A and B are shown apart, each in its own frame.
Chain A
Amino acid sequence: MDIDDILADLDAATVPQETLDIQLLTRLWVAERVAPELLVWPDDLISRITERMSAQVELIEEQTATMDPKSSFGLIVLQTEMERVKFLVRSYLRARLAKVDAHPLYYNEGEPAGRLSVEEKQYLTAHQTLLEAHYGASFLGQFPAQLQRMDDPAGGISMVETPDAERAVFVRALRDAGLVRMPGRDESWDVKRGDVRVVRWSAVRDLVEIGDLELI
């Protein structure tokens, strides 16, 4: 244990949960925007944040109603903060939806289970139904029956596109994590805390998910 760890412990003890949540969301937001595939849905975190947001909205409305000139500056700070948190959540959710829409059939097959939130799952199914109805009405309905499938693997090419797991990502090591093999090369990376590297997503996916590495 070095001085950084002691400081980190101290920090963790004094920093309130609210602040930690926002920090965590910011990290997840960055990760979600750079990772080639959908990451795990943080159900607890999101419900904590939405709860606190509605509480904050109420507080702001209350203070606005009183129109106390003394509180108006504080109010602007609160509102500005609200806008920022809103942006974070919005951008995070939209980044996820964009990925779902890019590879709908892949996620629809329940490929990586537990990645999608309940709402995202519903959205995906509904959107897919809409698209299929649209294709069907536009042209596919008049096709011979054996050619109407949307996930046809015939002819050696599957119709289901998958996210590109071989894309390069930037990662930072949060703690020592031993050796990581680099795919396709006879080389390993001895992960030391603080290292920053460009690697293929497939090589570090598991380490990112358990929190040894973070995407940047």
Chain B
Amino acid sequence: MTDPVRPVLHARGITKFFPGAIALADVELALHPGEVHALLGENGAGKSTLIKCLTGAYACDGGVVELDGQLVDPGSTQESQKLGIGTVYQEVNLLPNLTVAENLFLGRQPTRWGMISRRRMAAEAAEVLAGYGLDIDVREPLSHYSVAVQQVVAIARAVEMSGRVLILDEPTASLDQGEVELVFDVIRRLKARGLAIVFITHFLDQVFAICDRATVLRNGHVVGTRALADCAPRDIVHLMLGRQLESEVRERHGGQGGEVLAEIDGLGRRGMIEPFSMRIRQGEVIGLAGLLGAGRTETANLIFGAVQADQGGVRLRGRALSLKGPRDAIAARFALCPEDRKTDGIIGDLSVRDNIILALQARQGWARPIPRAKVEEIAQGYVRALDIRAASLDMPIRLLSGGNQQKALLARWLATEPELLILDEPTRGIDVGAHAEIIQLIERLREEGMSLIVASSEIEELVAYSTRVIVLRDRVQVAELEGGEITAGNIVRAIADEDREVA
């Protein structure tokens, strides 16, 4: 980088390995004095890992961090605090039962003849907070004040203790609009004081409201650093989600699908997702696109009955279904591969074989056990068909790799011969080979006439297999793309909220 000003903090070549994965690969981050720098990326892109490497919570496996041109290597968060790097997390990391002043000065209280001077502490605390535009009684317990005020106190504490670099990890996630303004006001004051600030959030509008530059991470790599003044939200979404947007054109095989299998009519749940309607035809893949928190998973869960809808309904071939829970959905030949494989998918201690037959067995009921020979046939069949690599079908499924676990879960649902298969992030956290195989499998199932709904944050993936894409933003369906309209560009535009209505 050829910057006119020397960066306050310059991290270069930061690399971090986790067992079996590269969390960060050769990451560079430069922070200038008086700038607010957004750190962006989907979940798992490496934002938190990078922060932890900078603050000494993790030891880097490679790379250097320079602070004001000096090489530093903080071994712990305390050490990095002393060096001048302060961090504020989404969950306020203070002690709610202590007073505001005590929280500000905990561990370094002003003393008088070896005793803590409460009066001086209160006076100094009030003075410090006045510098942040906060006029509150510092002798009240912290829990007395709103989360936003607590957040400001946390920022004040971090700045007073460190004072050169401030890292804000989703500080606004649980704040409402007015409170966000309060925090932004504080950030602007600190910016004027010349601090370098890292701001992490999932809200793009906030990024454009407060930040000067943004660094975007994807899969542990820096995919770009942009000055926000000369780019649009679309560019940032591109960076966050896109892989190779050049290859966005592909031949569309398969058509509109066959007859209507299911109709979803105003299905919704208050506070979770706005009512939505869609028609699902046989032999089509409906992609659900949107940023994190846009409502992809909620849509999937609602259709499957994993979460109860409080309005609307689902009709299967014109007949109304009562979906009180997954059991009803399974009886109607729906299937859902959930997003969180570990907590909602696998039964870790059970064998691969038992995991594969579980849904089928549950639908048959306990009194009709699947005969051993049939179990073996089903399990072996799917192990071959999906190329599940396990040393033995008797081994607990938790010992398998992520990709093989996912394939075993797909096998569990395919064994129930579903008519509608809902996949929530089917390719998250699995290796490249399994990734391609799962995409091929989706294509094959569609060709065989199955209906699929696939929620994914990988846009190229959606472009590759969807016959229709529904775009969600802020828990509302905002666009529906069909046929030739399905391009990464169009999806990104719809996600980024540009004035483009798609027919």
Verify that A and B bind, or say they do not: no
